Chain A
């Protein structure tokens, strides 16, 4: 039987989960600059020709009378977009003869009524993670030193039972090392491997 997905399975053990938990890990998502997001009119350039309102497929633009008395707009009609009807096709942006539309790539247009949960959680989480990573790396180094000493005893120990004992302790310690790296990277598969390692150590003994 050929195992054609073996390489895939092995690389996936040390990888973080693919789904990005959206408000908490906002910095993993990259949006191109020209993504079609929120758009609005620069009132100093608009001439009131109403082409955008005539052509909008979902009739989302209303020309309203705002008395601004700028020289460019004799009828004082300006377009107001109803974002709940807009499908973001950007036909209005394309067809405006004076290019009066300002475009952004902001797509988060839902108004949140709780007090800004996403930003709060994101800031807290990133500060904690950086501090935690440095300290856990230091402890990782100390653990590897002890594992190296134990393997030295396995190779050159006085009696057989010494070797067995130090091998067991080395396995338990290396499971802790796996757990620490798992938390630093954020991959869940490594944490599950610690359980498997401990069971194997017990069965060996």
Chain B
């Protein structure tokens, strides 16, 4: 008489639990998720086309505005690629200043995600308290670079601003305060009843799954893979600084958040070492090169969310020929749909937030071709194409 169907719930592009537009279609039996599909594409801005149309110097500033939270690492990757194509090296003081700005950004991005996770499980008070402490890091960024969010401090061949002694004292004082607060947060993560019940054993990612689906960043490091570009291919000043790659074995949401909190402590140590070892010298080259000769280069950098890759192709001239951006959230978020199956409906936002989705960084068009047959798609077919 009655046909048994399962209800399909869209956690749609506009939803109060999400911070950015993404469509999750979940097939639900009672409270348990049976099947899920992710589709994205609501935030595509055509950034790669913009990078092709502008000159080298203008496209630096465009690449900084791909993402708001990780803007310094995008600029670092692009400028690093251009410098290696040209064959020039920035002066050592510029490398140290770039490192300090990138580590400050890592601290504030991880604190933001911890606050968002506290809000998702319902602990609104902790959200407000963590955001209050994050304001101090934003003040430090304002002091060093000139703006609270967008640190437009990179230029081809160096940096634009310098750090003097009075700023160093302020930075060290605020960092001591934040270090003590991060220890309090770790104590809350270990002892609090809400965190234990909602984060432990939720969204288990095994080591094989992480290797097979190429997860990067803290989700991979929480499953037992010590993959960190700062240690594998050191760039900027990381080859002269001493830090530890944070890794855990458990693989659930709790260990992903603990990896991020441990990384904040490591970043504070890195900034202290860099400030004490700042070399003297100039901070930029005398003239800015405007024409890049022919060649191509791949540059990789460790963003707060994982590994960020830029592939730059130049055919001489004053504009790049093709720039391809591959952000870490691209594979991290698209691989979460198999993890939802078997969990209850209330675990879905917790798993999604623990992978740190940055959807506006992520939107690119990826075409996968069959082996030897080229396929031609019209614009109408391209707009209807769905991943299987």
Contacts and interface: CB of A to CB of B under 8 A. Distances in A.
Main SS class of interface, A = loop
B57 A91 contact: yes
A35 B147 CA distance: 6
Interface residues of A, number: 22
Contacts, number: 55
B142 A35 contact: yes
A94 B160 contact: yes
B146 A36 contact: yes
Chain B residues touching A, majority SS: helix
Interface stretch (B24-32, B184-192, B328-336): B184-192
A94 B284 CA distance: 11
B143 interface: yes
Contact of B187 (A4, A32, A34, A94): A4
Nearest to A94: B160
Given A1-B193, A94-B160, A32 B57 contact: no
Contacts of A35: 142, 146-147
Contact of A18 (B55, B64, B132, B187): B132
Contacts of A68: none
A90 interface: yes
Nearest to A93: B160
Interface in A40-78: 55-57
Interface of A: 1-2, 4-5, 8, 18, 30-32, 34-36, 55-57, 87-91, 94-95
B188 A90 contact: no
A4 B61 contact: no
Contacts of B128: 18
B132 A32 contact: no
Contact of A8 (B61, B62, B129): B129
A-B CB proximity, top 7 nearest: A57-B61, A36-B146, A57-B58, A89-B152, A4-B191, A2-B191, A32-B143
Contact of B155 (A2, A36, A94): A94
Nearest to B57: A55
Given A55-B57, A90-B160, 18 more contacts: A1-B193, A4-B184, A4-B191, A5-B188, A8-B129, A18-B128, A30-B139, A35-B142, A35-B146, A35-B147, A36-B147, A55-B55, A56-B58, A87-B61, A87-B65, A89-B61, A90-B146, A94-B160
A18 B128 CA distance: 9
Contacts of A87: 61, 65, 150
A36 B150 CA distance: 11
A99 B69 CA distance: 31
A84 B137 CA distance: 28
A35 B143 CA distance: 7
Nearest to B146: A36
